[in-house]
Amino acid sequence: MDIVIAAGYVIAFVVLVLGVIYGVYKVRGMEATKQ
């Protein structure tokens, strides 16, 4: 598999993980503010 194809899969995984981490960070921030 050439590198451009592999890059697509790597970007998909990395962005999804970062997006979820950001989401969890925002939720925890919101819950902390509420308390």
Partner 1 sequence: MIDIAIIVALLIVVIAIGVKGYEVSKSMVGYFLAGRGLGAWVLAFSFMATYYSAASFLGGGGATYLYNLGFGAWLTAWHVIGVVLAWILVAERLFRYAEKTKIVSIPDFIEHRYQSKAAKVVAAIVIIILFTLYLTGVYKGGAIIIATVLKTSYEVGLLLLVIPVLIYIGIGGLKAAALNNLLLGVWMLVAAVLTFSYIMSAVGGWSAGLSALEQMNVLGKFPGTMWTRFDGMGPPPAMAAGMVPGLIMSITFSISVAQVALPSLLMQFYAAKDARVINYGRIIGSLAVGIYAILMFSLGAFCHLILDPRLSPAEVGGLLKDVDWVIPKAIMMLAPEGVRGFILAAPVAASVSTLAVTFIVLSAALVRDVVQTYRPAIPEASLVTLARVVPVIFAIISLVLALYPVGIIVEIVGVAFGTIFATFVGPLTIGLYWKGATKAGAIASMISGLVVSLVWLLFLYKGLIGPVATWVYPVVPAIAVALPLFFIVSYFTKKPPKEVLDLLG
Please provide the size of the chain in residues: 35
DSSP state of 23: H
Confirm or reject binding of residue 1 to partner 1 (CB under 8 A).
yes
Work out whether 5 is an interface residue with partner 1 (CB under 8 A): yes
> DSSP for 1-35?
--HHHHHHHHHHHHHHHHHHHHHHHHHHHHHHHH-
Site for partner 1 in 6-25 (CB under 8 A): 6-9, 11-13, 15-16, 18-20, 22-24
| Contact set with partner 1 (CB under 8 A) | 1-2, 4-9, 11-13, 15-16, 18-20, 22-24, 26-27, 30
